[in-house]
């Protein structure tokens, strides 16, 4: 399956994000670098040294790009952040690429997108980058990518560590989210199909956690249904909702196998941290006899579908920047009003049980000295405000991270880190 050819001159930099994987047009020196994936025409994935060479080249080529190390893995590999655009742009979009090391297509889409945006000359792309800062973690799990494993070098699934923050990789991402406050967090993955119930070219899903601000949730759902899916569909890719099996004849949902509201997953943590999060999953399995015979052909389809979806993200960011900024700003301020229940279970498609609702949350949680010592770094990485006490610490709910605090400290939360003592004396 081959997407139609598009040029880099499409409005609002959509083409720079979504153009198919072909050699860039001839330009004045320096010549745009190519990924190892492109050099091999999809026969192999880009190696870590090739990634480092490409990032160094784009960093040297233009002031619109900067590359920094934000973490180091257990195997001493760098976790890096690439900034493209203006530091004071209106909106910030964060791409997290290949948290699971054996899901490489998102990483390839991110690397080629970084290159294309770095070298683009057209006015539309320059205008887009003057109003949008694109942040990219091109390889969120370097050790897992090197070993072609889902988990990191300790076998930990990083995408189940965005609450506890026990891995260097998740800690690096948490610091970026805290410091850069992205309006969108776009998380690129791959999945294995189950024909005929679960075999779209691309699945996606927004934050389902019930603590996500409604306006932020709606922006994320709009990103999915009105932009990402149509963009992929225009290039001939089928799309659907991640985690939901559907009847191949009627299209009705059959059962849910994934995609719940648990807070330790980045898609849901994105909503808790006031960003319109979106998980994107491309199909690993070959679609045709030709793809079964030619692994490179299958690989190219996987990466190209991710690129098509990124085109929808670019269009959404440009057209929704005002509404998006208003939604995320209001969400960040909402916690200071300190009103309403906090949910420790349920999802936007799964009504919370009474036992999963803290109807009358406390004013805060008290931690003794040992508890605070155990998790003070994680609280700081989450951006949780803490008041120090001689006996330990007090964590108030009246703060931007209001919904996150009980999920970290209340014994009713399924993944809480310590059991804080509720304080009802406001």
pLDDT tens readout for residues 336-372: 999 999 999 999 999 999 999 999 999 999 999 999 9
CA distances from 99 to 92, 106, 272 (A): 20, 9, 19
- Give pLDDT tens digits for 114-137: 999 999 999 999 999 999 999 999
Beta strands in 16-90 (DSSP E): 65-72, 78-84
Q: What is the pLDDT of residue 65?
A: 97
User: Is the full-model pTM beyond 0.85?
Assistant: yes
For residue 22, pLDDT beyond 50: no
List the one residue out of 171, 136, 169 whose CA is nearest residue 150: 169
User: Residues 47-72: what's their mean pLDDT?
Assistant: 97
Give me 369's structure tokens. 């000295």
CB proximity list for 143: less than 8 A, separation 6 or greater: 73, 74, 75, 77, 101, 152, 153
To the question of domain 11-330 being in CATH 3.40.630.10, the answer is: yes
Neighbours of 325 (CB within 10 A): 14
Q: What is the pLDDT of residue 87?
A: 74
**Average pLDDT across the chain, whole number:** 93
For residue 190, pLDDT beyond 80: yes
- Give pLDDT tens digits for 224-257: 999 999 999 999 999 999 999 999 999 999 999 9
User: Residues 102-123: what's their mean pLDDT?
Assistant: 97
Beta carbons of 406 and 422 less than 8 angstroms apart: no
Give me 426's structure tokens. 């406001």
Q: What is the pLDDT of residue 18?
A: 52
Indicate the domain borders of the chain. 11-330, 338-423
């Amino acid at each position: 399956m081959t997407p139609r050819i598009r040029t880099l001159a499409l409005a609002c930099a959509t083409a720079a994000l979504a153009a198919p994987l072909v050699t860039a047009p001839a330009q004045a020196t320096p010549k745009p670098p190519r990924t190892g994936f492109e050099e091999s025409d999809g026969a192999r994935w880009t190696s870590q040294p090739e990634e480092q060479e490409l990032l160094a080249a784009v960093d040297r080529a233009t002031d619109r790009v900067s590359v920094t190390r934000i973490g180091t893995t257990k195997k001493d590999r760098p976790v890096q952040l690439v900034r493209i655009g203006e530091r004071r742009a209106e909106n910030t979009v964060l791409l997290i690429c290949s948290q699971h090391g054996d899901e490489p297509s998102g990483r390839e889409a991110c690397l080629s997108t970084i290159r294309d945006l770095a070298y683009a000359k057209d006015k539309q792309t320059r205008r887009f980058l003057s109003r949008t800062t694109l942040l990219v973690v091109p390889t969120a799990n370097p050790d897992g990518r090197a070993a072609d494993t889902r988990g990191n070098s300790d076998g930990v699934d990083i995408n189940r560590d965005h609450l506890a923050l026990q891995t260097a990789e998740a800690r690096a991402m948490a610091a970026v989210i805290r410091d850069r406050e992205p309006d969108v967090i776009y998380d690129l993955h791959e999945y294995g199909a189950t024909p005929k119930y679960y075999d779209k070219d691309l699945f996606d899903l927004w934050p389902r956690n019930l603590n996500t601000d409604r306006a932020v949730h709606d922006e994320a759902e709009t990103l999915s249904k009105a932009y990402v899916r149509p963009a992929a569909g225009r290039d001939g890719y089928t799309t659907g909702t991640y985690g939901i099996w559907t009847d191949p004849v009627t299209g009705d949902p059959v059962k849910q196998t994934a995609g719940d509201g648990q807070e330790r997953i980045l898609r849901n943590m994105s909503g808790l941290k006031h960003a319109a999060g979106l998980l994107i999953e491309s199909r690993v399995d070959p679609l045709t006899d030709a793809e079964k015979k030619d692994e490179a052909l299958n690989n190219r389809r996987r990466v190209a579908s991710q690129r098509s979806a990124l085109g929808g993200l670019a269009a959404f960011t440009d057209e929704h920047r005002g509404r998006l900024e208003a939604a995320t700003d209001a969400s960040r301020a909402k916690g200071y009003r300190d009103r309403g229940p906090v949910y420790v279970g349920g999802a936007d498609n799964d009504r919370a049980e009474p036992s999963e609702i803290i109807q009358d949350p406390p004013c805060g949680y008290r931690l003794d000295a040992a508890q605070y010592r155990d998790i003070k770094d994680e609280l700081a990485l989450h951006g949780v405000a803490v008041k120090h006490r001689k006996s330990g610490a007090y964590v108030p709910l009246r703060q931007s991270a209001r919904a996150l605090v009980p999920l970290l400290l209340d014994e009713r939360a399924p993944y809480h880190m310590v059991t804080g003592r509720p304080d009802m004396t406001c």
